């Protein structure tokens, strides 16, 4: 690992863990943040990401991205940029790997269905559910619940998108258990994980959209940022057929966005004058980000992707089907908890909001395939309009 900048997160200066570690913190060559990363990788909730929606619901093709491969790609971007900026690579990587663990099956369609189902019980938020999963639902250790991650790891997961001014019930619960200073900004590593997520899905969703035939190159070239990247690629490879250059377009664009991010972040840090991670938290604004020009271009790309890919009729139909599955499962389990596996059924109480939140915990942990299987078992093979 490269030498850390003064404003980077240092494992030796951590605020620690909620529970004391049996045998002490250091057991072997790994530091605190490296152990955080490894706990994520070895967790059940991380493994389940391999069958959770990224863009396409239960994709038929083996070449499409899922939450797991997306998280790995985010981590690759995050780790490389962290190294360049003198930030802690291991904390950045751990945050990138864990950031989507709270997503229910079927991506945002599943989240919308759980949010509606819990409307009178406090709602559902995937970011807060990431913390709930890692601090309460995962239980691999004999003496305490959760993965017992470092304060810096949990803070980053809570605030990677900025201060949390109006935390929901799940975020309030974990904050009461281990206060995370929700009103301040997070570390630079957490801020970097958030932007790495944007870079990854902006570009890899283009790749998947082209592969699925829901996007065309001609459509993409109407977006100025894509057009500039494509012109550079064509100039480098004038004699190569267009279809051989589509993945090169994605690589080019990732490089352009990452380089802009590095340059703009360095300028922000220099301008702010921060010298410590605590000064980063009190800076009053995010310091990791694109230049104003790139930020505007990235927003335009997102608008295009929503209009053309995410809201494509095929995608909307799949999302509607997913919402029906999650809604049906929630209703069925609420009426008949005996339909759940014994370890979940036995802990399902009558009192609200605990009953509904418990059922939502079970459903949120499902993969797309498992949710579809359980729906078919309960309701039979249903034909969706």
**For 215-240, how does the pLDDT look when each residue is reduced to its tens digit (9 = 90+)?**
999 999 999 999 999 999 999 999 99
Q: How far is it, in rounded angstroms, from Cα 166 to Cα 185?
A: 14
* C-alpha angle 357-98-291 in degrees, rounded to nearest 5: 115
Cβ within 8 Å of residue 39, ≥6 positions away: 147, 148, 149
Q: What is the mean pLDDT of residues 330-334?
A: 97
**190-228 burial code (b ≥16 CB/10 A, e <16):** bbbbbbbbbbbbbbbbbbbbbbbebbeeebbeebebbee
Residue percentage of the chain with pLDDT more than 90: 89
With 90 as the cut, is the pLDDT of residue 321 above it?
Answer: yes
**For 141-198, how does the pLDDT look when each residue is reduced to its tens digit (9 = 90+)?**
998 999 999 999 999 999 999 999 999 999 999 999 999 999 999 999 999 999 999 9
> What pLDDT, on the 0 to 100 scale, is given for residue 232?
97
Average pLDDT, the chain: 94
Chain CA centroid to CA 40, Å: 13
> What pLDDT, on the 0 to 100 scale, is given for residue 323?
96
With 70 as the cut, is the pLDDT of residue 125 above it?
Answer: yes
Q: What is the mean pLDDT of residues 34-60?
A: 88
Residue percentage of the chain with pLDDT more than 70: 96
């Amino acid at each position: 690992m490269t030498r850390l900048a003064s404003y980077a997160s240092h494992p030796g200066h951590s605020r620690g863990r909620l529970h004391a570690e049996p045998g002490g913190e250091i057991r072997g060559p790994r530091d605190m943040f490296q152990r955080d990363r490894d706990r994520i990788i070895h967790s059940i909730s991380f493994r389940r990401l391999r069958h959770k929606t990224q863009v396409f619901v239960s994709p038929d093709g083996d070449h499409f991205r899922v939450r797991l491969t997306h998280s790995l790609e985010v981590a690759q971007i995050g780790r490389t940029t962290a190294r360049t900026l003198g930030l802690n690579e291991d904390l950045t990587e751990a945050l990138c790997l864990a950031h989507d663990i709270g997503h229910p099956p079927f991506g945002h369609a599943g989240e919308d269905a759980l949010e509606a189902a819990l409307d009178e019980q406090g709602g559902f938020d995937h970011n807060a559910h990431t913390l709930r999963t890692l601090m309460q639902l995962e239980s691999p250790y004999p003496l305490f619940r959760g993965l017992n991650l470092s304060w810096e790891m949990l803070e980053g997961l809570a605030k990677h998108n900025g201060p949390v001014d109006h935390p929901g019930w799940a975020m309030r619960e974990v904050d009461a258990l281990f206060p995370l200073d929700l009103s301040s900004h997070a570390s630079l590593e957490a801020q970097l994980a958030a932007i790495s997520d944007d870079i990854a899905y902006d570009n890899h969703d283009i790749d998947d959209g082209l592969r699925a035939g829901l996007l065309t190159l001609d459509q993409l070239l109407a977006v100025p940022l894509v057009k500039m990247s494509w012109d550079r690629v064509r100039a480098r490879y004038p004699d190569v057929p267009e279809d051989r250059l589509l993945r090169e377009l994605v690589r080019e664009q990732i490089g352009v966005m990452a380089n802009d991010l590095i340059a703009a972040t360095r300028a922000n840090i220099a301008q702010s004058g921060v010298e410590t991670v605590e000064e980063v938290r009190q800076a009053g604004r995010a310091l990791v980000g694109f230049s104003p020009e790139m930020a505007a271009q990235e927003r335009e790309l997102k608008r295009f992707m929503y209009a053309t890919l995410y809201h494509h009729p095929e995608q909307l139909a799949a999302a509607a089907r997913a919402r029906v599955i999650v809604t049906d499962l929630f209703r069925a389990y609420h009426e008949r908890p005996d339909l759940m596996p014994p370890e979940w059924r036995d802990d399902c109480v009558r009192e609200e909001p605990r009953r509904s939140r418990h059922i939502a915990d079970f459903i949120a942990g499902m993969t797309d395939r498992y949710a579809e299987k359980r729906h078919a078992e309960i309701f039979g093979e249903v034909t969706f309009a």
